[in-house]
């Protein structure tokens, strides 16, 4: 049985293919059309799914979409009736979703086939159920608490669920306009980070702040009876300025979230690119702390209703790795399974798996062991692209390649590492990565000056051999998808100076041999050189979506000051080119 899952006409459009209950391929459209957070129809992603499995669209039995415009309709109507001035805006937002209603025509048009040849059944699934499904149905558990939170989806910002067997039972929803994600986005905009997806940047800034604004910011979002309420006077009304706008080129533009009340309370907002002052750092600090307080209170509520130790979680806010790292101390949950594509691209996987299990009543049989669900490329293709780019290169066997790359990183060089299938989700996890020495004090500045050009306050992440995690970090729960931040042990901070954030933490990736044998062996080779079982790992890109194809990696290598490119079995050095 073949099921295609889709996230479409929504930020991070994507497609996933589920074959007999197993996710065999998944990709965000941005990786293929090179438009960040692309929010149109994922035509190229659907084609990539079909090509991978060698099937035609007429072979697909079901198409599942992680959006249901009829979900929570009563709540939408109720809000509109009590806020008649906003009805027009809400109607406009609903009209923008109209193309989603004719999925068959869209698919036929995108793939240039006659719609009469399409025999798939169509399923629409509420946004947050798809998020929870993307975590629970990929986890190894047959019972867990399910949690999803983000800015909004189908008029809901937060969902709690009991997950058991092949069922997800929704226990509670928080409806718009109350939204923890909107709170975070609004403060990020106020601080001057106004692009879709900028929240992760500001999370890094929070570590530089002090507790000067926490009490004041607590007025913006209140905690009551186990849930939360926004003080709406600090926000622009829901739907004003058109909300989140999808532009004709498929990019996303955020409307201003904060109101004049926010300006009166906290002063003038920072303009993008203006100097960052202590106020912005303190606001980021207060925002992160308040976010955590609300998050942990919600999780503790959830635990009372689903008393177990396992938490399956997704939604854009689940990318808050600082909060994720603390939840073991602040809640009774002891194990997490967080979907690596926790943002909205993950809806494609969730919708497809939910259709398989909950709609078609098929038993569980799949665990997502790693995130390598994207395309891979043959040695012949890679070599051809290297030749076309006029690059000199050497072809090496596995061991010599690992040793050569490890020695170069140990010597302080920066290596582009392109191997195997591309990662699913926003993190590079050792197949489309730029790698460097984690213990050279100036390495962060070197990477920023030569390649990444990121904000000075953003940390780089460490990849560590899973079995060595406890020696270096103060928590032992694995973080295979780079979704937890833990304290680095005091005696190891000097060894990890390039990945040690200002608050002595690191957003680690624990690497096991089973999940990625080649990357695991590379870290081992680096350890033989330096006695450090850790690599600095940042995504293989330069102000663009992460590279997908060999030629994109080669172009990035050529236009930046990366020292080496290890692409498949080929090694190319800047000094030889």
Which spans of this chain sit near Fe ion (rule: CB under 5 A)? 150, 153, 344
In 10 A of CB 108, how many CB atoms? 17
Using the minimum distance from each CB to Fe ion, give the nearer residue, 15 or 391. 15
Using the minimum distance from each CB to Fe ion, give the nearer residue, 344 or 466. 344
Using the minimum distance from each CB to Fe ion, give the nearer residue, 199 or 344. 344
Using the minimum distance from each CB to Fe ion, give the nearer residue, 310 or 344. 344
Using the minimum distance from each CB to Fe ion, give the nearer residue, 100 or 508. 100
**Minimum gap (Å) between residue 18 Cβ and Fe ion:** 19
Using the minimum distance from each CB to Fe ion, give the nearer residue, 150 or 521. 150
**Minimum gap (Å) between residue 339 Cβ and Fe ion:** 11
**Minimum gap (Å) between residue 131 Cβ and Fe ion:** 6
- Tokens read off for 299: 């999780």
Confirm if 424 and 341 have CB atoms less than 8 A apart: yes
DSSP states along 420-449: SSPPSSS---SSEEEEE-TT-TTHHHHHII
**Minimum gap (Å) between residue 313 Cβ and Fe ion:** 12
Using the minimum distance from each CB to Fe ion, give the nearer residue, 96 or 468. 96
In 10 A of CB 223, how many CB atoms? 14
Helix axes 347-354, 127-136, angle to 10 degrees: 80
Residue with tokens 């002891």: 334
**Minimum gap (Å) between residue 425 Cβ and Fe ion:** 13
- Cα distances (angstroms) measured from residue 416 to each of 74, 119, 434, 460: 51, 43, 5, 15
State which H helix or E strand residue 221 sits in: strand 221-224
Using the minimum distance from each CB to Fe ion, give the nearer residue, 150 or 385. 150
Using the minimum distance from each CB to Fe ion, give the nearer residue, 344 or 515. 344
- Cα distances (angstroms) measured from residue 521 to each of 182, 276, 414, 439, 524: 42, 41, 18, 19, 5
Which distant-in-sequence residues (6+ apart) come within 8 Å of 63 by Cβ? 3, 4, 5, 6, 103, 107, 120, 121, 122, 123
Using the minimum distance from each CB to Fe ion, give the nearer residue, 131 or 270. 131
**Minimum gap (Å) between residue 127 Cβ and Fe ion:** 6
**Minimum gap (Å) between residue 168 Cβ and Fe ion:** 16
**Minimum gap (Å) between residue 298 Cβ and Fe ion:** 16
- Tokens read off for 495: 């060894």
**Minimum gap (Å) between residue 244 Cβ and Fe ion:** 11
Sign of CA dihedral 415, 421, 425, 430: negative
What whole-number distance in Å separates Cα of residue 396 and Cα of residue 341? 33
CA 468 from centroid of its chain's CA atoms: 25
* Cβ-proximal residue to Fe ion, closest one: 150
- Cα distances (angstroms) measured from residue 269 to each of 215, 243, 252, 274, 276: 19, 19, 22, 10, 11
In 10 A of CB 484, how many CB atoms? 27
Residue with tokens 């929240």: 199
**Minimum gap (Å) between residue 234 Cβ and Fe ion:** 22
Sign of CA dihedral 48, 53, 54, 55: negative
């Amino acid at each position: 049985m073949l099921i295609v899952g889709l996230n479409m006409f929504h930020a991070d459009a994507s497609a996933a293919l589920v074959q007999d209950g197993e996710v065999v391929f998944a990709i965000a459209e941005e990786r293929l059309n090179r438009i960040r957070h692309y929010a149109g129809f994922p035509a190229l992603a659907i084609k990539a799914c079909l090509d991978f499995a060698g099937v035609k669209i007429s072979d697909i039995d079901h198409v599942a979409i992680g959006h249901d415009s009829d979900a929570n309709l009563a709540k939408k109507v109720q809000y509109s009736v009590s806020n008649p001035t906003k009805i027009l805006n809400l109607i406009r937002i609903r009209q923008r979703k109209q193309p989603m209603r004719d999925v068959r025509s869209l698919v036929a048009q995108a793939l240039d086939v006659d719609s009469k040849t399409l025999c798939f059944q169509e399923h629409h699934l509420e946004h947050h159920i798809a998020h929870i499904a993307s975590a629970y149905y990929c986890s190894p558990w047959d019972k867990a608490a399910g949690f999803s939170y983000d800015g909004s989806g189908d008029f809901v910002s937060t969902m709690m669920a009991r997950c058991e067997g092949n069922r997800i039972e929704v226990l509670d929803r928080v409806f718009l306009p109350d939204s923890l994600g909107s709170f975070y986005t609004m403060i990020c905009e106020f601080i001057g980070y106004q692009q879709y997806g900028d929240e992760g940047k500001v999370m890094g800034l929070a570590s530089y702040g002090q507790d000067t604004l926490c009490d004041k910011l607590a007025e913006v979002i209140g905690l009551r009876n186990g849930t939360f309420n926004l003080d709406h006077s600090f926000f622009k009304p829901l739907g004003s300025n058109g909300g989140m706008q999808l532009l004709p080129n498929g990019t996303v533009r955020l409307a201003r979230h904060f109101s004049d009340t926010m300006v009166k309370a906290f002063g003038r907002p920072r303009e993008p690119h203006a100097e960052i002052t202590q106020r912005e750092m303190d606001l980021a600090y207060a925002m992160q702390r308040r976010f955590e307080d609300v998050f942990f209170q919600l999780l503790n509520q959830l635990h009372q209703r689903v008393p177990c130790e396992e938490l399956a979680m997704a939604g854009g806010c689940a990318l808050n790795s600082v909060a994720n790292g603390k939840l073991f101390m602040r809640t009774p949950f002891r194990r997490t399974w967080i979907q690596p594509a926790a943002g909205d691209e993950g809806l494609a996987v969730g919708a497809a798996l939910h259709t398989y299990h909950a709609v078609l009543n098929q038993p569980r049989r799949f665990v997502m062991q790693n995130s390598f669900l994207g395309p891979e490329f043959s040695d012949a293709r890679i070599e051809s692209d290297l030749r076309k780019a006029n690059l000199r290169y050497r072809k090496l066997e596995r061991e010599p390649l690992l040793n050569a790359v490890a020695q170069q990183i140990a010597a302080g060089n920066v290596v582009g590492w392109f191997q195997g299938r591309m990662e699913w989700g926003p993190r590079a996890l050792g197949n489309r990565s730029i790698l460097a020495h984690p213990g050279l004090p100036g390495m962060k500045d070197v990477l920023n000056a030569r390649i990444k050009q990121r904000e000075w306050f953003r940390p780089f992440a460490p990849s560590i051999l899973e079995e060595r995690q406890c020696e270096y970090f103060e928590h032992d729960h694995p973080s295979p998808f780079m979704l937890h931040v833990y304290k680095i042990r005091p005696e190891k901070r000097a060894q990890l100076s390039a990945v040690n954030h200002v608050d002595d933490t690191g957003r680690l990736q624990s690497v096991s041999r089973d999940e990625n044998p080649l990357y695991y062996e590379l870290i081992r080779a680096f350890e033989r050189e330096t006695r450090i079982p850790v690599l600095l790992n940042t995504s293989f890109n330069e102000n663009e979506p992460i590279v997908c194809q060999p030629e994109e990696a080669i172009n990035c290598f050529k236009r930046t000051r990366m020292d080496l490119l290890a692409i498949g079995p080929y090694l190319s050095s800047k000094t030889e080119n």
